[in-house]
Amino acid sequence: MGQKQNKTMIVDATDQAAGNGLMNRRFFLNSALATGAAVVGGSAALAQETTVGEGQEDWTLYPGDDAPEYGELSQFEVGRVKKFVAPPTGGRTASSAGRTPLHLLHGTITPSGLHFEVTHHGIPDVDPDKHQMVVHGMVKQPLKWGVEQLENYPTVTRQHFLECSGNGRVCWAQPKPDQNFMYMTHGLVSGSEWTGVPLSTLLDEAGVSKDAKWVIAEGGDSGSLSRSIPIDKAMNDSMVAIYQNGERLRPSQGYPMRILNPGFEGNTSVKWVRSLYVTDKPVMSRFETSKYTDKLHDGKSLQFSLEMDVKSVITRPSNAVALEKKGMYEITGLAWSGKGKIAKVEVSADGGKTWAEAAVEGPVQSIMLTRFRIPWMYEGRPAVLQSRATDEFGRVQPTRKALLAARGKQAYYHYHAIHSWSVNARGKIRHVYA
Amino acid sequence: MRGGKSDMYMRKTLIAALLLAGSAVAMAQESRFGEPATQADIDKRFWSVFPDGTNLPDGQGTAVAGAEIFELQCHACHKNPPDEASEFEPEDPADVLFGGHGTIGTDGALATVGSYWPYSTTVFNYVRRAMPYTSPMSLTNSEYYSITAYLLYKNDIIEEDTVLNKETLPGIKMPNSDGFINAYPEVPEKYRTK
């Protein structure tokens, strides 16, 4: 038997950073940990010898499998992690969504197999040897590339989040707060390391006209999904991504090549991209007119609301767990901004009356998920936990009330308000509007 | 003496470094692996048609022909107007095609081709590339013009015998054509949170 450690945490009132138990973010680092000496049981009388492995589990007693060619999840994790909320395509709905279970994950990189995916016409099974992307329109020389040609270029590798503008849509109009685990309210955002060729490299090679204003991207799926990308974005930081987290893209992420527009609403990063038409006007495709537009209270709608807002959410604790004991818990979550870096994340344990600054885990990267954490002493008193992000441009995440006042309840897309978890005296956690 | 030698060494190193840097730049400029794309390469992959009619194909159709095609190709998933119940109710409001006029801006907003879509060309653009859902691109251009005509006719936007083709389609004004506000690069002040 191993040694048992008795840890005593010494809490000083001066460590409090805000109301209802929020502690200074450095509390865990500073706190004195008194390690009690462990008592090791005396040796038992050697009455009758048994094999020393008595009581061990089988996996300790028998050699395991050989290394697989491609590693997989533990069989005990399968089925716990991903939630599909619409029937798989092939049925009669034209969209399906696989959501990231943020409440089960840590860090900032989402495993590729858990990256959220929204498809409008199913996931195509593209043979890379038959897939080519053309650049044409207002260019000197129309060009085409297969993935093997793209492999020849100097690449860039950057970590970025992708978020569907429908992330959180249930919080706009639904009168009662959604009580599914948070994949439903927040699971359409994920973080990855993307590798590809800067789109500007390919556009420059084709020779873009100085009068060009838009690039119309079309995918090779069965709906040839298309979006118009402003030329300033295309020439700035967009890329044609061919790798995600070090390996070739998954089919659901656009294999063998996709556009990645950092910080823009997810569906502009057209997957399975096969045509880029350089022009001076947007195409006004379905997905930028009737679909991904935000209905306002005055009957107008926002169009080309491309840049994602500043946003954050507490991932632990969440309504997926209950606090069974009083004690010192870590509140942790994710913050992100489609414009740049996260500058600050504040946390409240009293529904926004008082706020304490959380520790932000670096390196903080531009247009990437940023993890924050703060210690919290739960003493069995009711609490409402919230996080509020601020980005480097001074954009502050709004309350739900402020967001609804600005846009009404029918916007459907670009919900980014502060999310609230209520904790009751028994440790039960629920999503509330606060 | 020592200083002189050192200077010479540094100069040689500097020249070598400059040469290396120069060749790196030259190599970067030579990363040109795109192959010329033919018109056939482009035509296979480029399906976009624009509000001004750019890239609309030949062919033509009317709502009369469209009604028949709708029944065969679309009705399994999409309700017929005005109020016919269908066994399948699309859960995504964007998939409702008819009605909803005057609802945008209310709590019961129903965004349909008639109440919401701002451009007539978008209807043709989307239906041709993506529909019927299980067999997109399986109809002729004239059949896609006909379905477009049916959708516009049943939304009271054109007459039953209006002929749609690449000349006439761009001129059809949609009821909600003035309903959109550009939010790029910034959401207008009025709709930002305080």
If asked whether residues A379 and A347 sit together in one domain, one would say: yes
A218 touches chain B (CB under 8 A): yes
In the structure, what pLDDT confidence band is assigned to residue A26 with cuts at 50, 70 and 90? confident
**Residue A118, pLDDT score:** 92
A411 touches chain B (CB under 8 A): no
User: Which one has a higher pLDDT value, A187 or B95?
Assistant: A187
- pTM of this structure: 0.88
Q: How many domains does chain B have?
A: 1
**Residue A224 Cα, gap to closest chain B Cα (Å):** 6
Contact B34/A303, CB-based, under 8 Å?
Answer: no
* Contact residues, chain A, for B34 at CB < 8 Å: 135, 143-145, 149, 202, 205-206
**Full domain range(s) for residue B73:** 58-166
User: Can you tell me the distance from the alpha carbon of A387 to that of B184, in angstroms, rounded to the nearest whole number?
Assistant: 27
**Full domain range(s) for residue A164:** 128-300
User: Can you tell me the distance from the alpha carbon of A280 to that of A212, in angstroms, rounded to the nearest whole number?
Assistant: 5
Mark which residues 72-101 of A lie under 8 Å from B by CB.
Answer: 86, 92-95
Assigned domain for B6 exists: no
| Percent of chain A whose pLDDT exceeds 70 | 89
* Contact residues, chain A, for B41 at CB < 8 Å: 132, 134, 142, 144
A67-71, A291-295, A312-316, A373-377: lowest mean pLDDT where? A67-71
Helices (H), A71-182: 147-150, 170-173
In the structure, what pLDDT confidence band is assigned to residue B15 with cuts at 50, 70 and 90? low
Assigned domain for B28 exists: no
CATH code, domain with A282: 3.90.420.10
Whether B4 has a pLDDT exceeding 50, the answer reads: no
In eight-state DSSP terms, residue B94 is: G
Mean pLDDT score, A374-394: 97
Asked if B46 contacts B134 with a C-beta cutoff of 8 angstroms, the reply is no
If asked whether residues A296 and A314 sit together in one domain, one would say: no
Assigned domain for B193 exists: no
Assigned domain for B21 exists: no
If asked whether residues A322 and A286 sit together in one domain, one would say: no
In the structure, what pLDDT confidence band is assigned to residue A97 with cuts at 50, 70 and 90? confident
Assigned domain for A11 exists: no
**Residue B177 Cα, gap to closest chain A Cα (Å):** 10
If asked whether residues A296 and A182 sit together in one domain, one would say: yes
- Closest CB to A300 among B45, B76, B180: B180
- State pLDDT tens for residues B85-138: 544 444 444 478 999 999 999 988 889 999 999 999 999 999 999 999 889 999
**Residue A46, pLDDT score:** 62
- State pLDDT tens for residues A293-304: 999 999 999 999
User: Which one has a higher pLDDT value, B165 or A39?
Assistant: B165
Interface mutation vs chain A, best among B120, B174, B181, most A CBs within 10 Å: B181
In the structure, what pLDDT confidence band is assigned to residue A73 with cuts at 50, 70 and 90? confident
If asked whether residues A140 and A249 sit together in one domain, one would say: yes
Contact A295/B113, CB-based, under 8 Å?
Answer: no
User: Can you tell me the distance from the alpha carbon of A228 to that of A212, in angstroms, rounded to the nearest whole number?
Assistant: 12
Assigned domain for B102 exists: yes
**Residue B33 Cα, gap to closest chain A Cα (Å):** 6
User: Can you tell me the distance from the alpha carbon of A334 to that of A169, in angstroms, rounded to the nearest whole number?
Assistant: 18
In eight-state DSSP terms, residue B77 is: T
CATH code, domain with B134: 1.10.760.10
- State pLDDT tens for residues A247-291: 999 999 999 999 999 999 999 999 999 999 999 999 999 999 999
* Contact residues, chain B, for A289 at CB < 8 Å: 117-119, 122, 180
A200 touches chain B (CB under 8 A): no
A250 touches chain B (CB under 8 A): no
Asked if A166 contacts A188 with a C-beta cutoff of 8 angstroms, the reply is yes
Contact B193/A405, CB-based, under 8 Å?
Answer: yes
**Residue A76, pLDDT score:** 82
If asked whether residues A284 and A172 sit together in one domain, one would say: yes
CB within 8 Å of A164: residues ≥ 6 apart: A97, A116, A118, A188, A189, A265, A266, A267
Interface mutation vs chain B, best among A133, A155, A233, A283, most B CBs within 10 Å: A283
- Closest CB to A153 among B33, B47, B193: B33
Assigned domain for B180 exists: no
**Residue B116, pLDDT score:** 96
Asked if A296 contacts A172 with a C-beta cutoff of 8 angstroms, the reply is no
If asked whether residues A232 and A197 sit together in one domain, one would say: yes
